[in-house]
Amino acid sequence: MNASKVWFTDLRTRPGHNLLDKTEALMRAAGVTDIDFKDKFVALKLHMGEPGNLAYIRPNYVARVVRLIRELGGRPFLTDCNTLYTGGRSNAIDHLQSAQENGFNRIAVGADVIIADGLKGTDYREVPIHLKRCETAKIGTAIADADIIVSLTHFKGHEQAGFGGTLKNIGMGSGSRGGKMQMHSESKPRIDVVKCVACGTCVRSCPQVAIGWNTDDKAVIDYTKCVGCGQCVAVCMYGAAHPVFQGTNDALNEKIAEYVYAVLHGKPSFHVSFIMDVSPKCDCWGHNDAAIVPDIGIAASFDPVALDQACVDLVNKAVANQGSVLGDVHFEHGDKFTHVHPETHWESQVAHAEEIGLGTRQYELVAVE
């Protein structure tokens, strides 16, 4: 496969050409206008920030992207799926509130937010993919139904995947709550009888009729019937039904890549990565630690694999911020993400993505003023 082009702009500005102008110029140079947006539903896939974490993409950038897509005839909406863990984005009510508080609303960005997998994370399309790790992928309905995918990614480290880039944003972020459990776990959910209040929601919701009652009137799973779909985890409002996080980092990374395949296969897509506020951990935490490198720039490509590889390389070439966790671990040289998270193997994600045809790790970096 030939090298893909990754377009890049630094963060230097001048009067009359600010960072919003540079973002639009970058996208135009990278060829976003070649996509036929006319009357198409365009999913702007992004992480809108866990409450307390301030490293998310500024809504100002998103507003400029929304304006550009509208000018090109598209019908954009902001979207993400609910989280598997309990927090500020585990259901649509809390998720929308978090998005509003962080500035992702029609007044600020000019488009509405749609939580792709619905109120409790149970609204999804099961997409057949027949790949190494997943036969099917549970993709949030609003994302699965979109005509075009435009991803906007905050590039950062990640304690399980090594780094969180475009592939992670699309793959993990587009999975329903049950889909996230499939990616994170090699096992089936458990019931914490201490937290169970015997409300019966999981019993009624289980599509396999695999949940009943024990002698203490607490929910119990019949594992001869359970298929690990995660429906009980999604509907339990008391944290009693919970996933068991098992499996290797490589398995997680390969599943993420396969979920990206489920989202993008057969659809036009375009990807932008903001390499700034490069925090060492996932944006799903309710805080963001000091950036491991100075702000670098913004990159864009039609190829999500090349884009992630380019972003990793740019971070690894940048000077380390010794006031960050890299200073704590006495980093001197080498791969910054592996140094921060030595138990991870981020290359398995981009390697598998390349293997299943999502793109190539070979790229040509093209500078845009």
Report pLDDT for 247: 63
Task: Report how far residue 65's alpha carbon sits from residue 4's, in angstroms, rounded to the nearest whole number.
Answer: 22
Task: Report how far residue 314's alpha carbon sits from residue 328's, in angstroms, rounded to the nearest whole number.
Answer: 22
Confidence check: pLDDT of 146 > 70: yes
Assess whether 181 and 67 both reside in one domain: yes
Assess whether 231 and 165 both reside in one domain: no
Assess whether 275 and 215 both reside in one domain: no
Q: Are 208 and 221 in contact (CB under 8 A)?
A: no
Q: Are 50 and 89 in contact (CB under 8 A)?
A: yes
pLDDT, tens digit (0-9, with 9 covering 90-100), for 202-261:
999 887 899 999 999 999 999 998 877 777 877 888 889 987 766 678 998 999 999 999
Q: Are 6 and 301 in contact (CB under 8 A)?
A: yes
Report pLDDT for 352: 98
Which of 93-107, 228-242, 273-287, 314-328 is least confident?
228-242
3-class secondary-structure state, position 346: coil
Assess whether 21 and 128 both reside in one domain: yes
Assess whether 84 and 163 both reside in one domain: yes
Task: Report how far residue 245's alpha carbon sits from residue 5's, in angstroms, rounded to the nearest whole number.
Answer: 37
Q: What is the DSSP letter of 159?
A: T
Burial class from Cβ neighbours inside 10 Å (0-12, 13-18, 19+) for residue 182 reads buried
Q: State the distance between the two ends of the chain, measured CA to CA, in whole angstroms.
A: 28
Mean pLDDT of 253-275: 97
Assess whether 195 and 230 both reside in one domain: yes
Assess whether 108 and 238 both reside in one domain: no
Report pLDDT for 354: 98
Of the pLDDT bands very low, low, confident and very high (cuts 50, 70, 90), residue 160 is confident
Tally of helices (H runs) and strands (E runs) in the chain: 14, 16
Q: Hunting for tokens 């990616």 — which residue is that? A: 183
Report pLDDT for 246: 62
Q: Higher-confidence residue: 327 or 248?
A: 327
CATH number, position 213: 3.30.70.20
pTM score of the predicted model: 0.88
Assess whether 156 and 98 both reside in one domain: yes
Assess whether 233 and 263 both reside in one domain: no
Task: Report how far residue 92's alpha carbon sits from residue 234's, in angstroms, rounded to the nearest whole number.
Answer: 12
Task: For residue 34, give its domain range.
Answer: 4-185+246-367
Strand (E) positions, 130-230? 136-140, 148-154, 156-158, 162-164, 190-191, 211-213, 219-221
3-class secondary-structure state, position 181: helix
Domain end position, chosen among 242, 257, 281: 242
Instruction: Give the orientation angle of helix 304-317 with respect to helix 166-174, to 10 degrees.
Output: 130
Side-chain-side CA neighbours of 57 within 13 Å: the count stands at 31
Assess whether 342 and 206 both reside in one domain: no
Question: What does pLDDT average to over the chain?
Answer: 94
Of the pLDDT bands very low, low, confident and very high (cuts 50, 70, 90), residue 188 is confident
Q: What is the DSSP letter of 216?
A: T
Domains held by the chain: number: 2
